[in-house]
Chains A and B, each alone.
Chain A
Amino acid sequence: MVKEPNPQFAIEVSQTPGGETLSLCFQCGTCTGSCPSGRLTSYRTRKLIRKAQLGLEADVLESPDLWMCTTCYACQERCPRGVEIVDIINVLRNKAVAKGVMSEEHTKVGTYFLQNGATIPLNEKYEAIREQLGLPRRPANVLGDKKALEDFQKILKVTGFDKLLEEKK
């Protein structure tokens, strides 16, 4: 990615669903002060939003900071300008992933999602526990329904999610 500021970047973010409120931020820092992640790390929400406003695309999309947010909404709830901060972070993460920035661990979660229709696979140990509790070994959802899983995977093909992971490999 180019290191130069990209003046189009903020506009692109604002035009993506969830990113509409980016320009409303006036840098008061309430988000940073509310962020539990920022309390424990050097991640600063206010700074991330400012960089996005300034079009520092590579800086934003390649920074590990982008993945420090637990999407807890503490910032968004308190923002006096109504900036939908978590939604903006989601838009930024989508842009990063589209450019191939995705950690190995997250690629693994994405692969589980694609293969099982669930981010956590059901294994024999838990099938036995289910039985012990009087539940069917596999539930009636995608974890126990082959046709449903096929439909699920077809949708991921249409949206290009499978490609997103392939490009990573």
Chain B
Amino acid sequence: MNLNKKYALFLGCVAPARYPGIEAATREVCKTIGVDLVELEGAGCCPAPGVIKSFDQDTWLAIAARNLALAEKQGADILTICNGCYGSLYDAAHILNGDPERLRAVNKILEEVGMEYGGKTVVRHFAELLFKDITPENVKANTKRSLEDMKVAVHYGCHFLKPSKIKDLDDPERPRILDDLVEATGAVNLNYRDKQMCCGAGGGVRSGNPELATKFTESKLKSMKEAGAQYIIDVCPFCHLQFDRTQKDVKGYDLPVIHLAQLLGLAFGVPANKLGLEIQEVPVKF
């Protein structure tokens, strides 16, 4: 299938610098389903909605606007593979595309680097694009290898669907988007306690209060394990890092973390050495 649009792939920090398998898988999967990707050359940090926005909102908005302006210049929508990047860029676009006064203020800053944002960029999340434009039916049609031997626990993370007031993608308490996409691959999708709970990494908690972040993660890991899950499926490299690295520190868990792009890679028959799953802290054993 072919979509009538080009998408500027927004890499963010965690995917290219810690889990490049997510980046590689995204590129392969987009090729398979006909999503036309271009590079968002020169893009910077989204910036992180937890830490950087917590420090200084004006900086957060100006740096986000720079990224939005880069995509606008290319005439492309932004495609993110991370909830944090999606949260920041979607939020910033929501503010700037609807508020001429704040747009003017931000453009005064961008002027210093010879840039201007016109307030037009649309920001999308990989999972949202898959669900709405590709649809689970087409995911199923593209599945070459049914993943029915995988028992998985789906983790949505926070900034993908919330705040739902401005995103309006799905019910934030009982969403289906990811569940439907995962089930389309044939994977056995298990329900578990506190499915909608945060992984614990966001808001500067992983960096500033790591013991607390670990408690969040352990609580989720415990629920997933109790439900019988063998794998965790997520849509955010930061949740990914949190689940993967925490299992190195706390004993008793062996749940490889798989980003939706990597899962679809497996289903669509992308060679395993392009997905990076065996080089994570908790590797997938093929």
Give the distance in Å from the alpha carbon of A16 to the alpha carbon of B40 in the complex: 32
Contact A72 B162 (CB under 8 A): yes
Is B198 an interface residue when CB atoms closer than 8 A count as contact?
Answer: yes
Contact B16 A122 (CB under 8 A): yes
Contact of A154 among B53, B113, B215 (CB under 8 A): B113
With A119-B52, A133-B276, A152-B63 already in contact, the answer to whether A68 and B17 are too (CB < 8 A) is no
Contact A93 B54 (CB under 8 A): yes
Is B137 an interface residue when CB atoms closer than 8 A count as contact?
Answer: no
**B119 partner residues in chain A, CB cutoff 8 A:** none
Distance from A69 Cβ to chain B, minimum over Cβ atoms (Å): 5
Is B197 an interface residue when CB atoms closer than 8 A count as contact?
Answer: yes
Is A120 an interface residue when CB atoms closer than 8 A count as contact?
Answer: yes
Contact A36 B208 (CB under 8 A): no
**B66 partner residues in chain A, CB cutoff 8 A:** 151-152, 155
**B279 partner residues in chain A, CB cutoff 8 A:** 129, 132
Give the distance in Å from the alpha carbon of A161 to the alpha carbon of B198 in the complex: 29
Is B68 an interface residue when CB atoms closer than 8 A count as contact?
Answer: no
**A129 partner residues in chain B, CB cutoff 8 A:** 20, 276, 279
Interface size on A, residues (CB 8 A): 66
Stretch from A22-30, A50-58, A97-105 at the B interface: A97-105
**B109 partner residues in chain A, CB cutoff 8 A:** 155, 158-159
**B55 partner residues in chain A, CB cutoff 8 A:** 93-94, 97, 102, 106, 110, 161, 164
Tell which of A16, A18, A139, A154 has the most Cβ of chain B within 10 Å.
Answer: A139
Contact B45 A119 (CB under 8 A): yes
Contact of B51 among A37, A73, A109, A159 (CB under 8 A): A109
Contact A134 B24 (CB under 8 A): yes
**A47 partner residues in chain B, CB cutoff 8 A:** none
Give the distance in Å from the alpha carbon of A72 to the alpha carbon of B219 in the complex: 15
Contact A135 B205 (CB under 8 A): no
Q: A68-B212, A148-B44 are in contact. List 4 more A-B contacts (CB 8 A).
A: A106-B55, A129-B279, A151-B113, A158-B62
For the complex of A and B, the 10 pairs showing the least CB-CB separation, nearest first, are A148-B42, A72-B198, A73-B162, A71-B203, A118-B13, A70-B203, A93-B54, A122-B17, A70-B202, A151-B113
